[in-house]
Structure 1
């Protein structure tokens, strides 16, 4: 047994005794000296651990108190807002209102922002009344962007009915997936009141200062589908720039490669948009395009030929199909067309970047009403599909 251990042992067993041989009581016993150096070290370590535990407990307590306080504050804030809305529920006009006023809802605005603007214009008595009407109707996600014809001093729920009806929205340019540049610019000119020739001048100038270099001076494919408040824009350039910038932002978000690859993907995606009317088929169409390009075959896509003739595919004539001078004649010209043929949407762009796996070389939409499309790698089967479409067309 080590010396320190021996000392600890005898120190624990020892008792103080008086002159009569009896153990002395604790009250009469002088303070007991430390038993050993080892015991002092143990004692100090124990004290240090105790202090550390106290600090940890204090920190945890402060964090818990702070968290509880934040949760309580949030709850009180929600209750306060609810109470505020309830208080102002009565602050509503009886309707139906009078006079005429134009009111604009911007894309992405929520019921609070819209309600505040309605109150400022004197259309509703309070923003809270409008917000409550939206919640009661469950239409928070149905508020439409656009310019609406309203009246002053309207009842809030009547305003909600108007602002959730897309047929009543005016003044906003709606660019749809698969829509051609010419149709977009016709609408932009009509809605903005800016002469169509100003848009054409920008087209003729190859979009200088607006288009990225990879667009090759063509706006086709470079306008982002969506809603645009063109009525508040002062020039054709501002409108065109707005649509192109949104397109570039979206392409970046989708991870579309830059440079020539970006233009190539837009071309393929636009053909998919033009060939089928169901997004379920986009991945197969883009695979057919890639397979035909790999085999150095003409694409043979009627949507491309129709674009080059500025007609819809069903309006194609034999003369158009046989016109080999048309650079968009995909039956006689190999490779991709000179430009995209419309403004492709997200699903078509994703399909162009990631075509489905398959050996298909042909496809035919056999029913234009349902959009049913059949794919094959066999030319004879393709001819059968074509006859199936011709039979449908004859009946319709």
Structure 2
């Protein structure tokens, strides 16, 4: 290799490293972006730029390739601040040695479970300890009156010693975006008056579905019941109404005792969501499978048996829950 070539390579390397360490302009002081599972480095770079970070997707891609991190993408929701550089971005979305914490919010969790998980996370500043629900709602900028169901379930990656409030706000904004997208694509003439009602229904679908492929069918049952003015008669809402006071499984007297979440004694939706629904449950709630089903019962293997009338349903209950000869 000639001296001229060596010097040229050194110059290019020097310029690339200067670019990699140069702070980037952000559209806002803090930018949140999500790298979906299965994304390539090209897709991740495009997503980062679209989020409001002034970086060339092409340059970011080639820098990742040149440093051997182009095929090491870690899915999740990321947060970056003023001063972030292209190299730090690459470290964040790869499996490199970057000091990050991780919080996993699961589909179907209640806010009590979310709060417990975040307030026990050793990498977070626990600034929600001692705060009331009203305090937290105000801190995250929420207009709703109840925290349940407002946070989008996902893996949130953050700089260690970030605040719990900051993670909750990111999860809240994510849910608002997902809910708005789902509501915009809803089927016409749904018996749902608002995106919040869709969120409530989605939370019930999330808790009632054992297998992903049943979500649209479960949603169709509840939509059909709402249209017919029938009670939803769903156990998870009743259980939610009792909260931590529920000791063990629901019994007959639980179903007969009226409270705001008892969908056996009251028609319509409960007043709030009962858990965090994921994207699939949100989509099922606003675009349910078209059926004439009014009932379903668990088969005991995670799947459900769907019925059009009470006679079919009673036979299914006898078959799958009471056993042969009952």
Q: TM-score, normalised by structure 1?
A: 0.53
The one of 205, 208, 223 aligned to 1:272: 205
The one of 144, 157, 160 aligned to 1:229: 157
Task: Decide whether aligned partners of structure 1 residues 270 and 260 sit closer, same or farther in structure 2, where only a CA change above 3 A counts.
Answer: same
- Per the TM alignment, residue 212 of structure 1 is displaced from its structure 2 partner at its CA by 4.2
Taking the aligned partners of 1:294 and 1:313, their CA distance within structure 2 comes to 34
Paired residues, number = 248
Q: TM-score, normalised by structure 2?
A: 0.64
Taking the aligned partners of 1:127 and 1:290, their CA distance within structure 2 comes to 49
Instruction: Give per-residue Cα distances to partners, 1:260-310, cap 9 Å, x unaligned.
Output: 611010011111111012222222222211221222221110111111223
Matching of residue 131 in structure 1 with residue 69 in structure 2 = yes
- Per the TM alignment, residue 186 of structure 1 is displaced from its structure 2 partner at its CA by 0.7
Task: Decide whether aligned partners of structure 1 residues 233 and 248 sit closer, same or farther in structure 2, where only a CA change above 3 A counts.
Answer: farther
- 1:268 aligns to what SS in structure 2? helix
- Per the TM alignment, residue 246 of structure 1 is displaced from its structure 2 partner at its CA by 1.5
Which runs of 5 or more residues in structure 2 are unaligned? 1-8, 14-32, 45-63, 78-93, 187-191
* Structure showing the higher helix proportion among its residues: 1
- 2:299 aligns to what SS in structure 1? strand
Task: Name the larger-Rg structure.
Answer: 1
Alignment partner, residue 277 of structure 2? 344
Describe how 1:186-335 pairs up with structure 2 within 5 A: 186-191=116-121, 192-195=123-126, 198=128, 201-205=131-135, 207-208=137-138, 210-213=140-143, 215=144, 217-229=145-157, 232=160, 234-256=162-184, 261-310=194-243, 315-324=249-258, 326-335=259-268
Taking the aligned partners of 1:205 and 1:228, their CA distance within structure 2 comes to 22
Task: Decide whether aligned partners of structure 1 residues 255 and 319 sit closer, same or farther in structure 2, where only a CA change above 3 A counts.
Answer: closer
Instruction: Give per-residue Cα distances to partners, 1:131-158, cap 9 Å, x unaligned.
Output: 38x5xxxxx45x4669xxxxxxxxxxxx
Taking the aligned partners of 1:200 and 1:381, their CA distance within structure 2 comes to 51
Matching of residue 182 in structure 1 with residue 97 in structure 2 = no
Which runs of 5 or more residues in structure 1 are unaligned? 1-79, 85-105, 114-125, 135-139, 147-161
Larger RCO (CA within 8 A; separation ≥ 6): 2
Taking the aligned partners of 1:242 and 1:340, their CA distance within structure 2 comes to 19
Alignment partner, residue 55 of structure 1? none
Task: Decide whether aligned partners of structure 1 residues 207 and 391 sit closer, same or farther in structure 2, where only a CA change above 3 A counts.
Answer: same
Taking the aligned partners of 1:199 and 1:257, their CA distance within structure 2 comes to 38
